[in-house]
Structure 1
Amino acid sequence: MEITSYQDFINMAKQQPEPQRLLFVLAKAQLPEQPTQIQQQQFEQQAGGNLEPVLCVDKLPEEVESFDVLVEESQRTDIDWDIAFVSAMDGRGGHPISSDEASQPLEMMVQQIQAGMIKHFLTINRQGELVQVM
């Protein structure tokens, strides 16, 4: 099944043989230190900048059936973000992994995002639209 929407992702997670734990790393677009004029212009046109992770969270699919739920919950933190990097982890023996077990994979996601290794993550903007980040 091809994932073309956040809802497709949730539906696919629910159909997996093992329960899933969803991993979200929320990132904010930022200018690099001492940006060039071109970098500044691209950033202002929302076509450039660095994505810096600002918040991590893990959820069960049932907890975030709608992307709006994630957005509303994140607003309570007062942390601004632009892009959500999303992944999923299989549970074991019919049970999803715990939040404690998800902390190390979330940290690894953060490190991969900081290194620019993002092609295997689903990327979603604040409006809930799948986007391609390069």
Structure 2
Amino acid sequence: LLLNLKNLGLPMPDKAILLSPWLDLSLTGDSLATNITTDVMLTPKALQTCAGFYLGQRDPEAPLASPLFGDLKGLPPLLVHASSTELLLSDSKRLVTAVEAQGGVIELTIWAKMPHVFQVFAGRIPEGNEAIQQLGAFLDTGPH
């Protein structure tokens, strides 16, 4: 969405949050292998199937499908949450490297042993509550 807004010359938000983002539909992240036994929600086969449904015959490295391969200059400050045990962890780590290399501002919080998008469990697990508080604090602060 952020890359598309930028490409279209539309206004960007002041900040953005990404929760366990899937940023590489070509599925080249190393955590697809290293976290294969620890991710309780996703499997490489499920990701491959979903990528196929979304992409059809299109290039999996097209930036609007896989932002890791795009021009990330000019994005607003980002806060990313990911789990140490999820298949998509390396997407978040590679995003930090790419955004910082292109002069952007990004913060990554890696939560230990949480399921994919665990923030939906706010009100049920303390980590969910803490994550929501952190997201709110990030959005409430002035520009970075």
TM-score (norm 1): 0.26
User: Which structure shows the bigger proportion of residues in helix conformation?
Assistant: 2
TM-score (norm 2): 0.25
Q: With CA pairs under 8 Å and 6+ residues apart, which has the higher RCO, 1 or 2? A: 1
User: Which structure shows the bigger proportion of residues in strand conformation?
Assistant: 1
